[in-house]
C-alpha cells in the first residue's frame, strides 16, 4: 500500500505543471518608447482621430504643470504622472489605481512589466504595477524635469538638477553617479552597443553645453561641446548615429563623438575624448541642412523605420529630413496659441506606416501621413507644448495637454 502511495506521489510531481510568474513586455516602456528614444512603434496608429476617452490628471490652471510622459504596459495599462499623483489607467479609461506623490515625472517600466519607476519630489521611486505599492525609493540631491531610462540589464538612469547623473540598480542601490557641468533635465538614451548618451543642461537650474557618452560602469567615453546651454534627450538610429537637439541646431554624432552632420544655422562645437582637451573631430565648418533659423530646441526627434528624422522649430513647423541627403523632404506648419505665440511642436512619434503624431501650441494633436499631408487633427483645451505621446500595441495614441487632461485616440 505504501509503495502504491509513493508511486502516485511521484506521478503527481512529474505531471503537475510548474507555474511561473507572468512577464509581459511593455508596449511603450518609457519616454519616447524605448531606450534608444526613437519615438517609433511597430504598430499602425489611429487613422481618424476619434476620442476613446480622456481623464483629468492635473489642474490645467495657468502655471500648473501638465501631466507628464506616458508608459504603456503589455496589458494595455497606461501609467501617467502628474503634479500630485501617479495613475494606472485601464484600456477603457477606468483608473486601476492611483498613488499620491508630488511632481511625478516620466513613468518608465521594467522589462518584465512588474515595476514602474518614476522621479518625484527629489527621489527615484519604484512601485508595483499590480497594486502601486512602493518597493523602494532613492534620494537624489534635487528635483528634475523628466523621468528615468531603463537599461537592458534593468539599471535605472536618472538625472537631477543637482548636476548628478545617477545609475541605480533594480534593487534601489546606487551603482554609480557622475557629476556633470550643470544640471540634468532630460532622459538619457542607451545605444545598442550599451553606451549611455546624455544631453545635459537646463535653462533655469544650470547650463551645460555637453553631450556625454558613458560606459555601463560609469566611465566617461567622450563628451561633445554643442556651444549651447542645454541639450535634449538623444535619439539613436539603427546604425548607432546619435541625434541630439541643442537649440538652434540638431546635431548628428557618430559613435566616437565626432560630428556626422547637423541641421540648422549653427554647427559650432567639438568632441572631447574621455573628457580631455583635444577634440577627435567635430565642427566641419559646413551647414549641411538649413531647415530653419531655429531647429529642434531641446525636443527629441523621432526616427521612422526608413530612417526619416522628424523634428520641429520654434515657429511651430515640423520637418521630415532625409537621412541620406540630409535635406528636408517636407515641412508642415502648425498654428499659434490664443495669444499669437508659436513654439516648438511637441515630441513627435511615428508608426510603422510612417505617420507622424505630434502636438502644438495651438492645442491640437496632429497626425500627418508619410508624405506630410494631414491625416487628422484633434483640438484640446490648451497648448500641447510638452506633450510626449505614446502608442499602444492596439494603435491607440495617448497624450497629455496643458489643459490637464490625458487623451486616448483610436480609429
Q: What is the DSSP-derived secondary structure letter of residue 22?
A: P
Residue 46 lies in a domain: yes
Residue 19 lies in a domain: no
Q: What is the DSSP-derived secondary structure letter of residue 18?
A: P
C-beta of residue 361 within 8 angstroms of C-beta of residue 367: no
C-beta of residue 366 within 8 angstroms of C-beta of residue 9: no
410 by DSSP, 3-state: which?
strand
Look up the domain containing 342 and give its range.
33-410
Residue 12 lies in a domain: no
Q: How many domains, in total, are found in the chain?
A: 1
Helices (H) and strands (E) in the chain, counts: 1, 33
Residue 337 lies in a domain: yes
Closest CA to 104 of 155, 76, 134, 67: 67
DSSP-assigned states of every residue in 279-314: -SSB--S---B---SSB-TTPPPEE-TT--EEEEBT
Residue 7 lies in a domain: no
pTM (two decimals): 0.88
Give the sheet arrangement for strand 405-410, strand by strand: 50-56, 405-410, 397-400, 390-391
- Position 12 scores a pLDDT of 40
Residue 6 lies in a domain: no
- Walking along the chain (411 residues) 10 residues at a time, the average pLDDT comes out as 42 43 84 97 96 89 72 97 93 96 91 96 95 97 90 96 96 97 92 95 78 97 91 94 91 96 64 42 36 62 97 88 93 84 85 96 95 97 86 96 93 77
For 255-266, the pLDDT digits (tens) are 999 999 998 754
Residues near 109 by beta carbon (within 8 Å), at least 6 away in sequence? 26, 29, 30, 71, 73, 79, 115, 116, 117, 129, 150
Residue with C-alpha cell 497626425? 367
Query: Cell numbers at residue 2, please?
Result: 505504501
Q: Tell me the CATH number at 305.
A: 2.130.10.10
Residue 21 lies in a domain: no
For 73-94, the pLDDT digits (tens) are 999 999 999 888 999 999 999 9
Residue 97 lies in a domain: yes
Amino acid at each position: 500500500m505504501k509503495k502504491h502511495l509513493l508511486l502516485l506521489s511521484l506521478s503527481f510531481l512529474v505531471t503537475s505543471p510548474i507555474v511561473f510568474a507572468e512577464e509581459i513586455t511593455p508596449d511603450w516602456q518609457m519616454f519616447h518608447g524605448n531606450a534608444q528614444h526613437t519615438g517609433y512603434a511597430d504598430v499602425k496608429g489611429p487613422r481618424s482621430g476619434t476620442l476613446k476617452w480622456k481623464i483629468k490628471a492635473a489642474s490645467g490652471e495657468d502655471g500648473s504643470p501638465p501631466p507628464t510622459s506616458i508608459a504603456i504596459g503589455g496589458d494595455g495599462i497606461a501609467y501617467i504622472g502628474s503634479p500630485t499623483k501617479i495613475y494606472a489607467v485601464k484600456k477603457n479609461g477606468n483608473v486601476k489605481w492611483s498613488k499620491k506623490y508630488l511632481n511625478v515625472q516620466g513613468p518608465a517600466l521594467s522589462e518584465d512589466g512588474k515595476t514602474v519607476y518614476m522621479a518625484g519630489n527629489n527621489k527615484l521611486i519604484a512601485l508595483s504595477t499590480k497594486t502601486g505599492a512602493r518597493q523602494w525609493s532613492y534620494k537624489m540631491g534635487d528635483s528634475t524635469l523628466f523621468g528615468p531610462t531603463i537599461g537592458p540589464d534593468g539599471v535605472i538612469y536618472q538625472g537631477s538638477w543637482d548636476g548628478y547623473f545617477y545609475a541605480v540598480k533594480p534593487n534601489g542601490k546606487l551603482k554609480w553617479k557622475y557629476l556633470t557641468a550643470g544640471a540634468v533635465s532630460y532622459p538619457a538614451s542607451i545605444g545598442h552597443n550599451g553606451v549611455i548618451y546624455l544631453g545635459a543642461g537646463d535653462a533655469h537650474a544650470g547650463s551645460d553645453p555637453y553631450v556625454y557618452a558613458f560606459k555601463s560602469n560609469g566611465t566617461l567615453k567622450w563628451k561633445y561641446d554643442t556651444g549651447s546651454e542645454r541639450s535634449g534627450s538623444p535619439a539613436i538610429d539603427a546604425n548607432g548615429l546619435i541625434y541630439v537637439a541643442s537649440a538652434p541646431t540638431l546635431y548628428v554624432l557618430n559613435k566616437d563623438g565626432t560630428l556626422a552632420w547637423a541641421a540648422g544655422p549653427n554647427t559650432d562645437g567639438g568632441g572631447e575624448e574621455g573628457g580631455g582637451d583635444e577634440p577627435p573631430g567635430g565642427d566641419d565648418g559646413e551647414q549641411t541642412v538649413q531647415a530653419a533659423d531655429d531647429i529642434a530646441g531641446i525636443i527629441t526627434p523621432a526616427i521612422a523605420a526608413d530612417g526619416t528624422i522628424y523634428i520641429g522649430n520654434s515657429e511651430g513647423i515640423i520637418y521630415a529630413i532625409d537621412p541620406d541627403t540630409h535635406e528636408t523632404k517636407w515641412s508642415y506648419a502648425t498654428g499659434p496659441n490664443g495669444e499669437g505665440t508659436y513654439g516648438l511642436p511637441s515630441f513627435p512619434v511615428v508608426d510603422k506606416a510612417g505617420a507622424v503624431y505630434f502636438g502644438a501650441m495651438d492645442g491640437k494633436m496632429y497626425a500627418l501621413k508619410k508624405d506630410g499631408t494631414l491625416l487628422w487633427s484633434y483640438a484640446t483645451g490648451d497648448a500641447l507644448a510638452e506633450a510626449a505621446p505614446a502608442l499602444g500595441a492596439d494603435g491607440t495614441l495617448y497624450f497629455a495637454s496643458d489643459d490637464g487632461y490625458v487623451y486616448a485616440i483610436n480609429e
